[in-house]
Structure formats: structure tokens, C-alpha cells
Chain A
Amino acid sequence: MDHTGTDHSQMDHTGTDHSQMDHTGTDHSQMDHTGTDHSQMDHTGTDHSGTDHSGMDHSGMDMAPAGIPLAGGAADRDGLEMDTLAVQLGPVLPYWPPGLVLHCALNGDVITRARARGLDDAWHGFVEPGGREAAARRCDDAAALLALAGASGLAADARRLRGALLRGDTAAAQHGLDRLERRVRRSLLRWSLGRLGVVEDPALAQHLVAAQAGSVFDRLLAMLGAARDANDGSSGERRDASRLIADLPQLVTGLDLAAARLVVASLGLSSLAAERGGHHE
């Protein structure tokens, strides 16, 4: 087993009690370490010599059945040791900013550690112009967030407004945006998305949609507001996606997958990616 060069930073077995573990008969030859992500596993400092082999018989245990390496264990957010899975979210998922990759350590369904990167390192600040297309992208962002929040009717409305904006039906879109915002305000979304993913850091908040700090719900309203303003041609803002991506791990750590997906969708990264594509062409 050659662990040289792998990233061992994520998991620490020091202090774990291996006295119960019997490795006799386990087949390590099946473990394929090439190309696997070992960020989860750290054997440094573990002392396997002199372990007590009488306690537990794992002779029937295969350390890598079907070539999938063993799930590790690590403390979850309550301090209990739990199974840990290394899961990569992105770069392509429904309702997910294209090109964003989030490497997560999942305890059950809670993200205990995360590392985020944009596939393209050049993903950084630029000015978002106003205009119909920018407004349509805002509607896209809002539709994704609404779909993740399970508000399928409202998500369908947001997608319809996007269509109206791209067709150039601005008056109808403006009216529709007002109506959608009223319906969102009245809905249970205030209960399900409020108090979630609260951003208080003003330095980070200025890169959010309409520089809106607060909860996921606040940012959803900001998206609809920004769509209206962009449609008016009254806005244009400077946001830096790389700054948001750098702070992403801190925002999603300790949340379960559902909440983390909502927080990611609320940052409005998708529209930034689309803008960037447009600029490079």
C-alpha cells in the first residue's frame, strides 16, 4: 500500500481504537489505490502492530468488494463516530451551477468536510450587465432554487417567465415577476428556507445576488428582485464567483445534503457561469 502523495488531511485515525480489528485474511490486493481519492483516509500514526487479534474475526470481510474501497469513519457534527463516504457533487447535476465541483465527506447525509473548486480557474470577477438576458438567467437561478425547494408550481412559473423574457415580452414578464414574488412571499417557503444558510459576513455578501445577505429565502427574493431590475435595465453588478466558491465549504459544512443543495443554489453561481461563457465568446 503506497499512500505517498495522497491527501491525508481529511481523516485522522490517531486515537482510534484498532485493538478490535483483525486484518488476517483480508485481501488488500483487491484494493485499487490508483486514481482513488484518499482524502478521506489517513493511516499515518495508526499503530497496527501488537493489535489484539482475538476480539473480532473479520476473515469474511473484504476490504474492497467490487473494487470499491472501504468506507471510513469520522466524527460527525455531534461528535459521534460515524461512517464516512467521499462524495463528489458536480460538475454536472440538475439545478447545480455548471462547472462547480464540491468534494464532500458525508456522514450519513451530513456534510462534515468539504472542498470546492470551479473546473475553470479563470472563473472570477466581472461586471454583470443588466438587460433581458441577465434577467432571464436570474429567473433560471430562481427556478432551480424553487425546484430544489419542492415548489414545483412556482418553479414552473419562473421558467415560464424566463421564456417570456427571452421572447422579449418584457411587460408581461415584469407583471409576472411581481406576481411570482408575491406568491413566494405568501408561501411556506418563508418557513422552509428562512433561517437556512444565513450569510452575515458583509465582505462575502457583496458577491451575492443584489449583495443580499441573510438566509436562502432572502436570496430567493433578491433573485426575483434582481431579475426585475435587470429587465428594467437599471442594474449591473460586480460579483466574484471565485470568492463565493472559496467560502462555499464553510457555508455547507454541517448541513445535510438537501440544505447544502439549497444553499449552493441560492448563491446564484449558475448565472455567473453563463455570463462568463458569454464574455469569452
Chain B
Amino acid sequence: MSDPVVEVDPSWAIVGALLLAVLVMIAVALDGMLAARAQGGSAAASLRWPAAETARLLRQRRRSTVAADSLLWRIGGAGMLVAALLKITVVPFGEWTLFDFEAGLVWFNAMDALVWALVWLVGWGGNSVHALVGGYRFLALAVAYELPLMFALIATAIASESLNVGDIVAAQSELWFIVWMPVAFLIYSIGVVAFSVWGPFGSSLGADIAGGVAAELSGVDRLVFFAGRYGVLVAGAAFAVPLFLGGGSGAVLPAWAWSLLKTVVVLAAFVWVRRKVPLIRPEKFMEVGWMLLIPAGMLQDLLIALVMVNR
């Protein structure tokens, strides 16, 4: 079997980062359009909004708070973008990948564990009650979503007998994983939306605590934090493609086009969910995660393991 993905020169990382930026812009614009539709604003204005907001935040003076822990604050704020960039290194784009790593699946998982620390650090750094409460909320949520997410990731590893993302894509040449492990895909999607502090899992950025962890962020700090937060959402959507949707496989179009197309579709679904599901507070989700999602994930893994053993 030839290698399903080829590792490209590291200088292509710049293209990868640009691709991430474009997808982030698409996500922001789409969210803006959905908001405009819900609230009766103008869709054209919402398309201009990402660029306008970027320009505004770049020019805004950076505010600080009394006795802020600036070092940890900056690490947390910038870290989300770094985590998103590190995540996409193992995501194949068609047949190319930046980092053909033997434990790519665990690498992705380790990068979303970084988000635990980063969101909390942003909440801590500003020395503000509301931001810190946001940080606490995120960790409470993280304890509930991370284990189910791990079981969902493991499902793909069992079925492909590898932790390498390229091998996982190759194992789907006959049947996409989403078809015979829908529960794992569902849990994975919940995990991605949750670690992106997005939509129903956005209570750490809630309106009830003045914007939560981002309450005291301003200027370029705010821009980088929110770019990174959209970045991890995009990375999560992009990683769903090699994991569950057969990677770049598809008719007529080249592999990279299929990767991009599938990523945009998954991303659009994640963005759309935001306005459809109310906030899921950590104390509500804790029981769901531990009493429903973990057993469901384990059963899914067991089923796949039985199939793999008996074939």
C-alpha cells in the first residue's frame, strides 16, 4: 500500500496558515450573516464586519487592569491561535500534509488539551471576577466533554489500527467512518464545539458575566484571542474530514478540493448550531457527558473493536 499522504516541505506551513485565516474569515462572515438574518440586519454589512472589526481592534488601544498577570494573560490570549496552527499541521489537505506524524491523532488531542489551560489563563490574567468565573466554567465543561471526545477519537484509531491520520484516511477507502460510527462523529462534533467555546458551550464567554474570559480583553489581544478561538473551530471542522468523512476522497474534483469542500460544510454546520441550541451550562452538561456520552462512546468503541476482531 502506498503512503496515503505525503509530507510537504515545511515552508508550505505559510499556505496552511493562510488557508486557516481564509476559513476563519468564512466562519466569521457566515456567523454574521446568520445573525443578520435572525435580527433583521443587513447581510452585506455582516460581510464587511470581519474586516471592519479587525481594523477597529488593531487601532484600539490595549487596556489593562489593576494587578493583571500580563505574562499569563498574553500566553493564554495568543495561545489559542498557536494551538489552532499546531492542530492543522497534522490535518491532511487532499494528499498533502505538513506533518505526517505517527501519533497524529493523539497530537490533535494534546493540542485541544492545551485549550483547557489557555482559556483559563485568559480568565485568570485579567484579575477580574467575571473573567475568572469564565475560566472556571470552561474547566468544568472541559472535564465533561474531554473524555467522551477521547473515546470518539479512539474509535477511528481502532478501526484503522493506527494513530496516523493518513492511515485513518486510507482505512476509509471503502466506507467512510461516519457511516458505521455515527455516535463517535456526534460526540466528536460536540467536543469540537465545546473546546472552541462556541455556541451552546460558550458559557465561559457568556453575556451574564460581561463576556466572561474575554471581559477585559481589548485591542490586539482581543483580536488574537477571538481569531484563535475561530481557529480551533476551523481546525476541529477540518480534522473531522480525515477522521470521519473519508479525507479527500470523492469523484471528479481533485482531493484537495474535496477536503476543502467537506471542511466548509462541517464548519458551516458548527456555525449554524450556535443560533439553534441555547446555552448548555456546565452543571447541566456534566451529567450528560459522564452518564450518557462516555457510556455511548465506550459502546461505540466496543462495537468497532468486535467488528475489527471478527473480520
Contact B137 A258, beta carbon cutoff 8 Å:
yes
Contact A150 B279, beta carbon cutoff 8 Å:
yes
Render B49-83 as a binary contact track against A, CB cut-off 8 A, 1 for contact: 00000000000000000110000000000000000
Report if B306 contacts A (CB, 8 A): no
A85 to B129, CA, bound (A): 8
A94, A160, A257: residue with the most chain B Cβ atoms closer than 10 Å: A257
Q: Which of the four size classes fits the interface of chain A?
A: 20 to 34
For residue A276, which residues in chain B have a CB less than 8 angstroms away from its CB? none
Contact B208 A95, beta carbon cutoff 8 Å:
yes
A147 to B206, CA, bound (A): 10
Report if A127 contacts B (CB, 8 A): no
Min CB distance A228 to B, Å, is 22
Contact B278 A188, beta carbon cutoff 8 Å:
yes
Render B109-134 as a binary contact track against A, CB cut-off 8 A, 1 for contact: 00000000000000000000100010
> Which A residues are within 8 Å of any B CB, using their own CB?
65-68, 85, 87, 93-95, 106, 108-109, 147-154, 156, 159-160, 187-189, 191-192, 256-259, 261-262
Render B268-297 as a binary contact track against A, CB cut-off 8 A, 1 for contact: 000000111111110110000000000000
- Which listed residue (A94, A154, A192) contacts B281, Cβ 8 A? A192
Min CB distance A259 to B, Å, is 7
- Which listed residue (B203, B208, B275, B280) contacts A153, Cβ 8 A? B275
A65 to B69, CA, bound (A): 12
Contact A150 B203, beta carbon cutoff 8 Å:
yes
Interface of chain A, main secondary structure? helix
Contact B66 A147, beta carbon cutoff 8 Å:
no
A67 to B127, CA, bound (A): 13
Contact B38 A192, beta carbon cutoff 8 Å:
no
Contact B208 A192, beta carbon cutoff 8 Å:
no
Contact A258 B38, beta carbon cutoff 8 Å:
no
Contact B278 A189, beta carbon cutoff 8 Å:
yes
For residue B276, which residues in chain A have a CB less than 8 angstroms away from its CB? 153
Q: B residues 25-53 with Cβ under 8 Å of A?
A: 35, 38-40
Contact A192 B280, beta carbon cutoff 8 Å:
yes
Count CB-based A-B contacts (< 8 Å). Answer: 74
A18 to B66, CA, bound (A): 29
For residue A68, which residues in chain B have a CB less than 8 angstroms away from its CB? 66-67
Report if B299 contacts A (CB, 8 A): no
For residue A258, which residues in chain B have a CB less than 8 angstroms away from its CB? 137, 203, 206, 208-209, 279, 281
Report if B136 contacts A (CB, 8 A): yes
Contact B67 A150, beta carbon cutoff 8 Å:
no
Report if B200 contacts A (CB, 8 A): yes
- Which listed residue (B35, B67, B129, B206) contacts A65, Cβ 8 A? B67
Q: Which 4 A-B pairs have the closest CB atoms?
A: A150-B279, A66-B67, A261-B208, A151-B278
Contact A150 B133, beta carbon cutoff 8 Å:
no
A66 to B67, CA, bound (A): 6
CB closest chain-A residue, reference B209: A257
Contact sample, A vs B, 5 pairs, CB 8 Å cutoff: A150-B203, A153-B275, A188-B277, A192-B284, A258-B281
A151 to B202, CA, bound (A): 12
Known contacts A147-B207, A156-B39; 16 additional CB pairs below 8 A are: A66-B66, A68-B66, A93-B210, A108-B133, A148-B206, A149-B278, A150-B206, A150-B279, A151-B279, A152-B38, A160-B40, A188-B280, A192-B279, A192-B281, A257-B208, A258-B203
Min CB distance B45 to A, Å, is 16
CB closest chain-B residue, reference A106: B129
Min CB distance B145 to A, Å, is 16
For residue A94, which residues in chain B have a CB less than 8 angstroms away from its CB? 207, 210
- Which listed residue (A85, A148, A191, A261) contacts B284, Cβ 8 A? A191
Contact A109 B136, beta carbon cutoff 8 Å:
yes
B39, B40, B210: residue with the most chain A Cβ atoms closer than 10 Å: B39
For residue B133, which residues in chain A have a CB less than 8 angstroms away from its CB? 106, 108-109, 257
For residue A256, which residues in chain B have a CB less than 8 angstroms away from its CB? 283
For residue A87, which residues in chain B have a CB less than 8 angstroms away from its CB? 129
Q: B residues 80-95 with Cβ under 8 Å of A?
A: none
For residue A65, which residues in chain B have a CB less than 8 angstroms away from its CB? 67
Min CB distance B296 to A, Å, is 18
Contact B67 A187, beta carbon cutoff 8 Å:
no
- Which listed residue (B40, B203, B278) contacts A187, Cβ 8 A? B278
